[in-house]
Structure 1
């Protein structure tokens, strides 16, 4: 088997070398007189421009040139090669069509390049940046049927702004423009830049929208540039209203009536008018404070709209409240479509009515989910979930979710003594779109704050070993400052684990391993938890980050009041169950860099610590840290790594997957690339481990955190295939360990042991992870 594998590997390498060699000879497919376009370069001849600015100008000019040459990888053009070798397909489908037009790339020829057009682009862009007397030429260099174009720009001196004037008149709109001029983007001494001028027009427009000028547009502003009034390459700017600005754009509008249609559909419109007459008498019965809610069937409580809408009768229109109102209506989660219209009701008084046309989602939904799974312990299993959702439970946009589920994992081979596992449970959640508290919580965010309440129960049965009853409950709040910052505070988070029917067999097999005995002890965990999330990954930027910090404080006040001290034999109980007391913190930081539309880099660092004190000398098993598996260190199976240099290979199959720790450090890096539409590939490296804060009884030798912790870092690497089907991403990652912390010191790197031709090595070291979604 090993020899065959090595033979296949050689064939693969030879084939790869052949493809690389052939991809160098793309020019042989060109017709007589054709030349392959290999790109362009812009040279700037001006010694007065600083080196950094010249480099930035050059890069911007080259980015604007069209067309782009054929894509390259390490100087080669494999996509062009595939286009050339593929036969012309007879139909718009099939392998040849896919290879030629999907994988392949049509050659970009010199004849496709309009050099005069590109020269004009260079001149126009330079003038837009203040180089008013720019001149450009070009030259074509060709060799061996390949050609590139060299453009030479002589930009002259860049014009600077000498003065900025905001022309005055007696109109109301001009008075507001004058109030905005102090924060202008146009500064004396700065270079003339058309992009900055456009941004200034948008700034003025946004400022006027905040002052009631709903119909104003940035195109109503003109910025005139005059280079004749100053010397030494200076330009004077004059900001003014265009003479043909519509009268409506200069009027300041206020809100008359706010009218909400919470059950809007197309049948509500007749001949362009709403089905309910919009006069004071007909609206009076729908009045709620300063708004009108047209809801004859009383499906919604009017006060939810009073909380969500920022506009009130008599308010001056502003864009901030306009957008806030729409966003808060959407974030209620009960409306499928949210539409807003402003209709002039009094042209003399400059007032309009604000209409909110809301199309509800289905109030109730029922979803059945079934899934199958296998794991590295030779278990196969299935899970069935039935979920019911009600999106308007008390007519106040409250979301109520109830779920029941059942699951099993049974032995399908491997060690015969492995035990089957069964789970069944139910949970309910109520999410209220406001803060329910004895204090007042004001939020000007576009996101509605929520109060969340949950209850849950799960029954676990590990045949011949034990059964567990898990009860959970929580009460807390979630609110967002903006799209980037979110807070999640659980004022009370309770977990009660009650074991039943723990067998003598389990006690016998876990003898000598007290940490496994603790997994089936009664546990009562309660206290607040808080998490803060910051992310800007939704922005179209080359560099984005994600951060989530979590703090878990269990039994702190209770332990302090009762004087609990487990180390001195003063462990306290509540209803006969010792309560846990600890402090736990975890930080998850991620960094993303986008190289291009098809390639990017992702990295992650996780650091966490959990410290027991007072009523506890150990962290509850369910609150400890774990590493390994499809979303962690992928070269090691889930929960088989650590703590520290502890060697789990001596454990039987039943307990090898129960390794945990009180300290966690994990680092991941991944390069991702798109090959074709839904097909993506990745190369990754993972590193990390978990450790114990204390292990006085030496239950797991080598597991305690020490100054040598860096020598106990596990490292794995691999490649991945991701199938992005929009509705889900199917991920397949193949990884292998390259540093194993439980090997002898000095022999933990495994490069000298790698042997792809050995079937037993592949079985023990190649780990295939199948998962849904990206790991981070």
Structure 2
């Protein structure tokens, strides 16, 4: 048989399979319908108007189609697999088992045309368009039946849209009317813009929010009436906003804050408890009622934004509640305002706070695997005290241990064991020599940490690592977060270095960097911005920038920054001196309700100077692995076109460098139920800033783009609500350490070849998304 004839036969088979799938998922769905019923496949809306621009008309049609009910069965590439699963599963005999799960969890019942009310949908479309200013709109509805399937067609014929001619605000003698008039420039109702009922509602809410900042606690948007006059002019309306006559007197009154009562140890069971005099404390403007003397009073002074005599405003009201929640010590926060019995136009404020358990233990056991063929487990035991010094401080003591075993691969038998402990204390305020008063709804924090870790790589070496830090964490708002460690000290000391590893160092001197003593100290700072919580936005971003400065001031004091040939020591250990910057930018493009395109760019650079010739190994950049370039094993790629050779002892060293550039893009879509799929492409590499004669091709040059590694793959994500289990299968498209002209390996891809699969397919199993 000729090759051409074979290709034609292959294509025919493929087309036959596709047509068969359409037949299976399509025709078979209708044969399960009850007698006399039809399958509803959706509705369409056509707007007939010669004045509206085509783009605006299409947008209006899309909005109107979104209002139609019910929604048809979900489709994937024109098929309805969930409906097909529902049908083939059949009626289960029990409310459990695979058949019940398939039918009721994975499957979806048919949407019947008998459930569609054409007249009701027509009225919904009419009301919507008229609320948009298309008065006297006509809507007609019809349906088309074909092979037991029905589609609904709606035709909307609007009149010319009405435009706002003028907007006037309350002009009576009330004080609130003057406040409303002064905010007119912020009005959402603009002359010359189309009439829109939703905008009128939003304008009422805007005015209400403004009045809430001026003490009008009892006011609400319903007390504002919008009078619309469309009787004069050519398709124009005059809008007049007035305060309703039936608005109660207290809604028209501005209130001040009176007494402030705090119940920091409140529960429903002691609602009727009679408190003793010694349980009631007065602190500044607050009356604290606490039988257990749970907190120091200044906690409430920092958290409650209201002061006695202040004009009520909603901003301080919400800030106070949010800060109580963010303290992390309360399970439930309730606030009430009551009119004072003794002082008119005054609100007494009550805060009822239900405590979380003060002390608790959390145990975490993890199973893990990575692309370097290591499989292992880790256990973390954390003891926490949420109110250590009675100031809502969080004190944590953690003990952890783990082991990673490489059951196959070059480093087989060279397992990793680690054991350590960490203690930290977090204060819900800034601890500084000078006073800082924030106004964010998020509580600023000061954190001190002390950590020790012992890591043993069997047959190679062991490391003792000590770290201590002191710094601040604060959020400007929900999008911007800062972390500044003014002190961050790390000391690493090796022991039990084996003859095998010393022999490996003789072959590759770069391995000696791993077991050098390290003393790193200096400030670190990171800034994070994200708007990914805004689910309705089509484009969302995440940015993280990190700055790491080590030994800068010490280098100036000791002269290490100037005299390169005279290494300075502290406690007989050379201290590190460098500047390191890293940025991580991510973009998420929403393509549909259950699909998106996620992309990431990482750029990092570290420059050692003065007392250091190179960055400490722990601070250098690496690529490859489950959250990086997934077609290459962790820490096995680069720098540049350099390829690490296996030593005589069969040891593969970790690769690290001074500069990193990485690109990732991933298409994500929901397949069914808890299963999501992904198709991705990763690219990047690391480089040295200076030439290393032992690693040829590792230095950054103007041709660095020719040394980029590229990989691709597919993955599944299982969203279990409390975590996301991820599996990614990746393979290389471009290998930077191959000779120039041979680095693209796309032509070598052969999934049918066992040797190719063994050499090139990398399975990554991880928790959470890669970015």
* TM-score normalised according to structure 2 size: 0.93
Is 1:259 matched with 2:261? yes
1:107-141 Cα deviation digits (max 9, x unpaired): 33444332222221221111101111211223434
Q: Deviations over 1:412-458 (max 9, x none)?
A: 45568743433222221111111111222221100111111111122
Judged with a 3 Å threshold, the aligned counterparts in structure 2 of structure 1 residues 14 and 382 are, in CA distance, closer, same or farther, namely: farther
Conserved? CA contact 2:370–2:766, under 8 Å: no
Q: CA deviation at 1:347?
A: 7.2
Superimposed CA distance per residue, residues 536-593 of structure 1 (whole angstroms, 9 cap, x where no aligned partner)? 1112223221111111111122223333258841322222211111111111111223
Counterpart selection for 2:136 from 129, 133, 136: 133
CA contact (8 A) 1:496 1:524 kept: yes
* 1:240-319 mapped onto 2 (5 Å cutoff): 240-270=242-272, 275-276=274-275, 282=277, 286-319=281-314
- Tell me what 1:525 maps to: 520
Contact 2:664 2:681 in 1 (8 A): yes
Match of 1:121, SS state, is helix
Aligned-residue offset at 1:335:
1.1
2:500 to 505, 519, 527: 505
Q: Is 2:226 the counterpart of 1:226?
A: no
Supply the distance in 1 between the matched residues of 2:452 and 2:27 (Cα, whole angstroms): 67
Question: Which residue of 2 is the match for residue 193 of structure 1?
Answer: 196
The residue that corresponds to 1:684 in the other structure is 680
Contact 2:226 2:240 in 1 (8 A): yes
After TM superposition, the structure 1 stretch with the greater mean CA deviation from structure 2, 129-138 or 82-91, is 82-91
Contact in 2 for aligned 1:224/1:237 (Cα 8 Å): yes
Going from structure 1 to structure 2, the CA distance change for 1:93 and 1:12 (only over 3 Å counts) comes to farther
Q: In the superposition, relative to structure 1, how do residues 129 and 525 fare at CA in structure 2: closer, same or farther (>3 Å)? A: same
Contact 2:504 2:648 in 1 (8 A): no
Does residue 608 of structure 1 match 2:604? yes
Structure 2 residue 626 is the aligned partner of structure 1 residue 630: yes
> How many angstroms apart in 2 are the aligned matches of 1:570 and 1:13?
75
Task: Report SS of the residue matched to 2:111.
Answer: coil
Label 1:759 to 1:188 Cα distance change in 2 as closer, same or farther (>3 A). same
What pairs with 1:146-157 in structure 2 (closer than 5 Å)?
A: 146-157=149-160
Greater mean deviation of Cα atoms: 634-643 or 112-121 = 112-121
Checking the alignment, whether the CA contact within 8 Å between 1:251 and 1:350 is kept in structure 2 is: yes
Offset, 1:39:
2.8
Q: Check 1:44–1:422 CA distance in 2 against 1; reply closer, same or farther (3 A cut).
A: closer
Q: Does the 8 Å contact 1:377/1:653 carry over to 2? A: no
1:664 to 660, 665, 687: 660
Aligned to 2:209: 206
Spell out the pairing of 1:60-99 with structure 2 (5 A cutoff): 60-99=63-102
Bigger Cα displacement from structure 2, 746-755 vs 486-495? 746-755
Does 2:55 match 1:56? no
Q: Quote the residue 1:442 is aligned against.
A: 437
Q: Provide closer, same or farther for how the CA distance between residues 100 and 512 of structure 1 changes in structure 2, counting only shifts above 3 A.
A: same
CA–CA distance in structure 2, aligned partners of residues 44 and 380 of structure 1? 60
Distance 1:653 1:672 in 2: 42
With over 3 angstroms needed to count, the CA separation of the structure-2 counterparts of 1:364 and 1:122, relative to structure 1, is: same
Task: State the Cα distance separating 1:627 from its structure 2 match.
Answer: 1.2
Give the whole-Å Cα distance in 1 for the aligned partners of 2:29 and 2:411.
64
TM-superposed deviation, 1:99:
3.4
Dislocated runs of 4+, deviation >6 Å: 10-17
The question of whether the paired residues in 1 share the 8 Å contact of 2:275 and 2:291 is answered with no
Contact persistence 1:732–1:770 (CA under 8 A):
yes
- The residue aligned with 2:4 is none
Aligned residue pairs, count: 758
Q: Which residue of 2 aligns with 1:733?
A: 728
Displacement of 1:376 in angstroms is: 5.3
Per-residue deviation at 1:144? 4.2
Unaligned 5+ segments in structure 2 are 1-11
How big is each residue's C-alpha offset from its partner over 1:467-526, in whole Å with a ceiling of 9 and x where there is no partner? 322111111111110111001011121111122343443222121322210111111111
Partners of 1:717 and 1:94 in 2: how far apart? 38
Q: Does residue 1:718 correspond to 2:713, yes or no?
A: yes
Contact 1:402 1:429 in 2 (8 A): yes
Tell me: CA distance 1:157–1:372, structure 2 relative to 1, closer, same or farther (3 Å). Answer: closer
Q: Distance in 1 between matches of 2:60 and 2:479?
A: 33
Contact 1:20 1:78 in 2 (8 A): no
For residues 544 and 129 of structure 2, what CA distance do their matches in structure 1 show?
44
Do the aligned residues in 1 keep the contact of 2:279 with 2:289 (CA within 8 Å)?
A: no
Give the distance between the partners of 1:551 and 1:655, measured in 2 at CA: 33
Matches within 5 A, 1:408-419: 408-410=403-405, 412=407, 418-419=413-414
Question: How far apart in 2 are the matches of 1:299 and 1:97?
Answer: 52
Higher alpha-carbon deviation: 462-471 or 564-573: 564-573
Structure 2 partner of 1:7: none
Write out per-residue CA displacement over residues 8-51 of structure 1, whole angstroms, 9 at most, x where no aligned residue: xx999987764344224247525676544333332222222233
2:319 corresponds to 1:320: no
Task: Specify whether residues 381 and 13 from structure 1 end up closer, same or farther in structure 2 by C-alpha distance, changes over 3 A only.
Answer: farther
Question: In the TM superposition, what whole-angstrom CA distance separates every residue of 1:218-252 from its partner, at most 9, and x where no partner exists?
Answer: 11111111111x21111111111222222332222
Tell me if the contact between 2:371 and 2:764 (Cα under 8 Å) persists in the aligned partners.
Answer: no
Match of 2:173 among 170, 177, 182: 170
Q: Give the structure 2 partner of residue 338 of structure 1.
A: 333
Measure, in 1, the Cα distance between the counterparts of 2:617 and 2:349: 56
Which residue of the other structure, out of 545, 549, 552, is the alignment partner of 2:545?
A: 549
In 2: Cα distance, 1:647 partner to 1:11 partner? 44
Q: Paired residue for 2:5? A: none
Using the alignment, how far apart are the partners of 2:418 and 2:107 within structure 1? 51
CA root-mean-square deviation: 2.6
Aligned pair in 2 of structure 1 residues 120, 742: CA closer, same or farther (>3 Å)?
same
When residues 452 and 168 of structure 1 are mapped into structure 2, their CA distance, relative to the original with a 3 A threshold, is same
Matched, 1:487 2:489: no
Deviation at 1:304, TM superposition (A): 0.9
How far does residue 310 in structure 1 lie from its aligned partner after superposition?
A: 0.3
For structure 1, which runs of at least 5 residues remain unmatched after alignment? 1-9
More deviation, 162-171/317-326: 162-171
Q: Which residue of the partner structure matches residue 4 of structure 1?
A: none
Secondary structure in 2 aligned to 1:215? coil
1:189 Cα deviation (Å)? 1.4
Task: After superposing the two structures, state which structure 1 stretch, 404-413 or 513-522, moved more.
Answer: 404-413
Matches within 5 A, 1:567-716: 568-648=564-644, 650-651=646-647, 655-695=651-691, 697-716=692-711
Deviates more, 1:712-721 or 1:369-378: 369-378
